[in-house]
Structure 1
Amino acid sequence: MSATKLFDEDLPVDMGKIPLVALNMNVRKQLSLYLNPCSAVAADWMAVAELMGFTYLEIQNCAARRNPMADILDAWQARSADATVGRLLDILEKSERNDVVVELRPLMELDVKRYMEKRNEAPVQVPVVDSCVTRSAQDITVGDGPEGSPELFDAFICYCQSDFKFVHEMIQQLEQTESKFKLCVFDRDVLPGSCVWTITAELIEKRCKRMVVVISDEYLKSDACDFQTKFALSLCPGARTKRLIPVVYKPMKEPFPSILRFLTICDYTRHQAWFWSRLAKALSLS
């Protein structure tokens, strides 16, 4: 079965180029339900982990965990540029778990479609509008130059509205002190009137060196934060460029997001004394 799938006649999508972050929690949960149980007649999570490149010792250490399949997926996603939806489907087929492929492929395709729509969505425009000046691709932030020079930032701040008080403190600590970092805060820096997803992708990929992710229970419910995080992760497979910096500033009731579990956290709740200096150092790395 080919990893390439047609969502419609005009939009071919190569699943082998779609990062694993496109898969939402429902698909990951279903994979765990199918593959966590050890079986003498069908390949389980251990066989899948072996095909993903994990060693015997790594697999044995993971066996003691409550949800080994979920942990293997997270670890594979964090360390391998080969962690794609298409590659996962290939591994399941090589493991002869066609039952899993048949059941979950439609859900995976739906997740991929949503991921691609958010990444590629463009504002609907009438081709020609009288008495209207078309906005340049460069004119997306308040600091963009009059002659087309784009405003660049040290970091994009991923946050939800309920956490803005902490983001405001971050601005004071990182922009208005000796650090003098330039942060991209969407509500402050982005001009109104453009497609949110298109502008967000442009800023994260081309305008900002890093992304600080403010993690909270509210963050977990935000579609915008979910897209921003997954898009940034797709730009740095295996987290080799240290592009994402997760920040926790208050205790959480919900579990920490699994897709960020393998990144080092800057934790304000435990290390207030050196929190800002650690964050500043991380942002200053070349």
Structure 2
Amino acid sequence: MACCKSDSAVDLGTIPLIALNVRVRKKLGLYLNPRNMVAADWMAVAEVMGFNYLEIKNYEASKNPTQMALEGWQARSTDASVGKLLSILAEVEREDIVEDLRPLIDEDVRKYCESQKKKAEPPIQVDEVDSCFPRTPERIGITLEDDPEGSPELFDAFICYCHSDFEFVHEMIRELEQTQYKLKLCVFDRDVLPGSCVWTITSELIEKRCKRMVVVISDEYLDSNACDFQTKFALSLSPGARNKRLIPVVYKSMTKPFPSILRFLTICDYTRPCTQAWFWTRLAKALSLP
């Protein structure tokens, strides 16, 4: 039938009903939902679709029986296509609907075909980009103990901090690296060599070189663009904190609200005198986990 071909010669019989968006389905309901003694309504369409009497009576109780019939037909019939629907409307002599909705239907079909074409296209892959460990010069020899000819330097944790909190970071180094815990921390000002792009190197260290990240929370932290980037990047690598990748630490009282993006994480709090004696043991244990 002529109504089964769009202007671009697409065979509408091959286009599934899912291609029709809400706008077209609502307009079909406006035409077919009202009981009509002169023209065929949704019941006539449902009969041609293959629904029996009990099924049609069940759909009748719905506010939008046309929509229910379309969804039921789409779910159970292998030939539920845009072309078949147009054929059914022509069969029940509702060419008026076809004529009115055809431009909208053709537009939906065009968008559907474009989306399917994009899905079928292979992703663009630059030869130099792969899933292996980065080999670009910018990411080789970025820390003090990196061996450009061997394995990269790895750490137990990346420390996210502001310069105003560096005194506490020094204490963290003493308690976690120079005691029985023997942890290896990545402290940017101490361990990273100068000359590379800060954002590139930071993301490389957090994602590839460090098992976890300790975030030193303070009022100054909340105003730091660098800390904001590091925290959000680490959270993106561990949605829902599934692998306990990020550990917030509070070491002094704050006047500003605690960052909302970290509220769902368990905090290691140094400000509570009753738990201060366990602070370093708890933090070291969390950083020592596989």
TM range (shorter): 0.5 to 0.7
- Aligned match for 1:273, one of 262, 277, 285: 277
Q: 1:200 & 1:255 partners in 2: Cα distance?
A: 26
Cα shift readout 1:16-40 (whole Å, capped 9, x = no counterpart) = xxxxxxxxxxxxxxxxxxxxxxxxx
Corresponding residue SS for 1:165: helix
2:220 to 218, 221, 236: 218
C-alpha separation in 2, matches of 1:183 and 1:145: 18
- Alignment pair present for 1:285 and 2:283: no
Cα RMSD (Å) of the superposition?
1.1
- The TM-score, its normalising length taken from structure 2, stands at 0.52
Q: Do the aligned partners of 1:139 and 1:148 also contact (CA within 8 Å) in 2? A: no
Matches within 5 A, 1:110-149: 135=137, 137-149=139-151
Deviation of 1:176 after TM superposition, in Å, equals: 0.3
- Whichever residue aligns with residue 288 of structure 2, its letter is S
Alignment match, 2:264: 262
Corresponding residue for 2:208?
206
SS for the counterpart of 1:234 is helix
Q: 1:87 corresponds to which residue?
A: none
Q: Which digits, 9 at most, give the CA deviation of each residue in 1:137-168, with x for residues without a partner?
A: 22110110141320000000000000000000
Mapped to 2, the partners of 1:145 and 1:216 lie a distance apart of: 35
Match of 2:90 in 1: none
In structure 2, what is the equivalent of residue 163 of structure 1? 165
* 1:233 alignment partner AA: L
- Deviation at 1:136? 5.1
Distance 1:265 1:169 in 2: 18
Return the offset for 1:195.
0.3
Alignment of 1:1-286 (within 5 A): 135=137, 137-270=139-272, 271-286=275-290
> Deviation at 1:272?
1.2
State the SS of the aligned residue for 1:252.
coil
Asked if the contact 1:138–1:148 (Cα under 8 Å) also holds between the matched residues in 2, the reply is no
The code of the aligned residue for 1:138 comes to I
1:138–1:149 CA contact under 8 A, matched in 2: no
Unaligned 5+ segments in structure 2 are 1-135
Q: Report the identity percentage.
A: 83
Q: Is the 8 A contact 1:268 1:275 kept in 2?
A: yes
1:80-106 deviation line (CA, Å, top 9, x unaligned): xxxxxxxxxxxxxxxxxxxxxxxxxxx
Structure 1 residue 135: Cα displacement: 3.9
SS of residue paired to 1:170: helix
Distance 1:237 1:267 in 2: 23
* CA–CA distance in structure 1, aligned partners of residues 204 and 213 of structure 2: 13
Deviation at 1:214, TM superposition (A): 0.1
With normalisation by structure 1, the TM-score equals 0.53
Give the structure with higher Rg (CA). 2
Distance 1:275 1:136 in 2: 37
Q: Displacement, 1:198?
A: 0.2
**CA distance in structure 1 between the partners assigned to 2:261 and 2:138 by the alignment:** 34
Q: Deviations over 1:95-144 (max 9, x none)?
A: xxxxxxxxxxxxxxxxxxxxxxxxxxxxxxxxxxxxxxx94522110110
Instruction: Give 3-state SS (helix, strand or coil) of 1:178's partner.
Output: coil
**How many residues end up aligned between the 2 structures?**
153
CA contact (8 A) 2:162 2:220 kept: yes
